[in-house]
Amino acid sequence: MSTAEQLKNEGNALYASSNFVEAHKKYTAAMAEKPDKEMLAILYQNRALNSWRMKKYLDSMNDGQEATRLDPKSAKGWLRIAVAAEELGYWDVAKNACGTGISVLPSAKLSSSMRETMTAQFEATIQRLNSSQKEYNGKVSGGEYTRESWATLDHLPATRAAKLLQRSELKRNIIPSSGFAIMQAHADFDRGMNLLGMTTAGPQIGSQTAFQFANGVVTAISNAVLCDKRSFMLSAGNFFNAIELQMTAERQQFKAWGFVGLEQLKKEVLDRLRRSSWTQVRPAVATTMRCWVLTGFFDMNLGKQLSAIQHLQRTVDFLEWGARQFPASERGTVFESSFIRGVRRLHLEAVLSMYMTDGCAKSGHSLEDIQKLAQELKTETESSIAPANLKETNPGAYIAFFVYPAAEALAALAWVHRQKSQRASSKQELSRQCSAGSRLYIKAAEAYPEDEEERPLLLFAATELLWWSKTPLRLTLPLCRRIADALPKIEPIWGGPMAKLRPTADRVNKCEKAVAFLRDCEKRIEQGKLSLDQAEVPGFVRGN
């Protein structure tokens, strides 16, 4: 028995005992023995199933694709692709895999009973896919994933900030104005969209498509969403088709990678560096990473949170590996700590979003996992030293990469306490979690620029937790006053006629209700009808 065969058998035994982490190591070690194509295809299909059991669906899909590349008649490989792509919301990929899998079953090396079983599995998968895609398309038609386009309006936050800058009214305090970040992000997004309009697909030449396009779209739009994701707007219905075409063109131009597995990418980057230089490899790696970032970001905005999480996590893992592996003088911008921090911000948001929607079981992340991610982002940001004079020369980049990540991490830590308060089994535990969460929400608010729209919203979240725990007015009313002070400061940039269309409109409305509650309490206290020692809770928080 060969070493590869022995390792495969050991991996199978570990898989059977649900020791998936160790099984993955055995399959990987067996691959390193460089067995023949038939054995290698089996190892990939086995590791694909193992990754699927670990909920690493992107890895599972990639391994299934590698198995079918080595052995196009690998029915199990096609099934691995189908069920992994199904979990990621890639229904067309999954359907194509099912169709191909069914077509190769008659010639696959399978027993008749296994062939019948797999036929049933493929057919059941197709039924689930049709149902899921129908449900998703209904949500799309209903506008669930639609973003309001302000491209033709004069009320964009970036436009409002630019007018303030022209009048020298955009503040450069200890923490510069939020307007600097949204202006910079909007400029990048606008530049990318203008270039995107030049892209067209030409004839097929060999295995590649001839494109007419302008370079720089992927860089510009990825810079925009990493700087301030609120710059992302849709002005054309075919945006996602156009950007997919652009990413394909730029990957082809720079010989970048598609969605290969993490370990495979590491290996191929090292192999390519041995054959060439950073001059060729740097743009290939940068394009790959930026495409992964955009794929994760777009999936996050299209309700495909699990795919977003796994794409962004894979990006962070590769970039952190590369930052350790390669010299700073050679590796390029994407390996800089600020860029990685921007990706980690998006990843944390994707994890939070999916947990809020689907809970721990589906997202694969517990509250403790989220707390750990947030604490790591906070610690890394606070320990990073911004380049000299960055705050003065590029205040937008300064707050995007040295202010916002820490503030968002603090808000995420507060949110964890909020969730724990809802599970509290005693009044003491409820009070403890609400108090801890409130303090963190206040810290998060204070970490933002004073004209950032999140500031009053987080102060409201801090106040709400104190209301939940029946905290006396002498502690809640001062927070309401801070909300009242904060709201006018966000108006010049984040207000205006179109503010009610913003995703934060409902939360701003709650802030305004908190201010009305404050005024009512002040009046009643003055009349002697209310005491600061009372724990008054507004009706809209009580639900009546």
For residue 49, tell me if it sits in a domain: yes
Q: Which residue, 307, 339, 365, sits at the end of a domain?
A: 365
For residue 359, tell me if it sits in a domain: yes
pLDDT at 361 over 80: no
Q: How many residues does the chain have?
A: 544
Residues 68-97 pLDDT 10s? 999 999 999 999 999 999 999 898 899 999
Cα 215 to Cα 234: distance, rounded to the nearest angstrom: 20
Contact 32, 68 (CB under 8 A): no
Cα 216 to Cα 188: distance, rounded to the nearest angstrom: 10
479 falls in which pLDDT band (50, 70, 90)? very high
Cα 139 to Cα 141: distance, rounded to the nearest angstrom: 5
Q: Mark 230-244 as b/e (b = at least 16 C-beta within 10 Å).
A: bbbbbeeeebeebbe
Same domain, yes or no: 431 and 499: no
Domain span at residue 196? 176-254
Q: Which residue, 205, 236, 254, sits at the end of a domain?
A: 254
Residues 132-184 pLDDT 10s? 888 888 877 766 666 555 444 567 899 999 999 999 999 888 899 999 999 99
Angle between helix 454-468 and helix 505-526 axes, rounded to 10 deg: 60
For residue 218, tell me if it sits in a domain: yes
For residue 219, tell me if it sits in a domain: yes
Same domain, yes or no: 524 and 439: no
For residue 484, tell me if it sits in a domain: yes
Same domain, yes or no: 104 and 20: yes
For residue 302, tell me if it sits in a domain: yes
Same domain, yes or no: 407 and 524: no
294 falls in which pLDDT band (50, 70, 90)? very high
Number of domains in the chain: 5
**Single-letter amino acid, residue 59:** D
Residues 496-509 pLDDT 10s? 776 776 778 899 99
CA distances to 140, 141, 171 from 503, rounded to whole Å, are 17, 19, 25
Residues forming beta bridges with residue 200, ordered by sequence position: 212
Residues 260-269 pLDDT 10s? 889 999 999 9
Same domain, yes or no: 486 and 405: no
For residue 167, tell me if it sits in a domain: no
CA distances to 61, 126, 360, 504 from 49, rounded to whole Å, are 9, 19, 21, 41
Q: What pLDDT score was predicted for residue 173?
A: 82
Same domain, yes or no: 265 and 237: no
CA angle, 57 as apex, 53 and 58 as ends, to 5°? 145
Q: What pLDDT score was predicted for residue 364?
A: 80
Share of the chain above pLDDT 90, in %: 76
Please state the rounded mean pLDDT for residues 459-488.
Answer: 97
Contact 344, 296 (CB under 8 A): no
For residue 154, count other CB atoms closer than 10 A to its CB.
11
Which carries the bigger pLDDT value, residue 26 or residue 503? 26
Q: Which helix (H) or strand (E) holds 211?
A: strand 208-212
319 Cβ contact partners less than 8 Å away, ≥ 6 residues apart: 289, 334, 335, 339, 340, 343
**Could you write out the DSSP letters of every residue in 71-126?**
-TT-HHHHHHHHHHHHHHT-HHHHHHHHHHHHHHGGGSS--HHHHHHHHHHHHHHH
Same domain, yes or no: 438 and 396: yes
Same domain, yes or no: 12 and 128: yes
Same domain, yes or no: 45 and 123: yes
Q: What pLDDT score was predicted for residue 205?
A: 57
Same domain, yes or no: 14 and 132: yes
Cα 298 to Cα 351: distance, rounded to the nearest angstrom: 14
Same domain, yes or no: 433 and 507: no
**Could you write out the DSSP letters of every residue in 348-372?**
HHHHHHHHHHHHHHHHS--HHHHHH
Average pLDDT, the chain: 91
CA dihedral sign of residues 169, 173, 178, 183: positive
Q: Which residue, 422, 444, 466, sits at the end of a domain?
A: 444
The residue among 519, 493, 510, 419 whose CA lies nearest residue 458 is: 510
**Single-letter amino acid, residue 314:** R
3-class state of residue 430 by DSSP = helix
Q: What pLDDT score was predicted for residue 150?
A: 46
Same domain, yes or no: 395 and 294: no
Which stretch of 192-201, 234-243, 385-394, 431-440 has the lowest confidence by average pLDDT?
A: 234-243
CA distances to 206, 256, 282, 331 from 277, rounded to whole Å, are 27, 14, 8, 11
CA distances to 313, 377, 409, 440, 458 from 371, rounded to whole Å, are 16, 10, 9, 12, 18
For residue 171, tell me if it sits in a domain: no
pLDDT at 305 over 50: yes
543 falls in which pLDDT band (50, 70, 90)? low
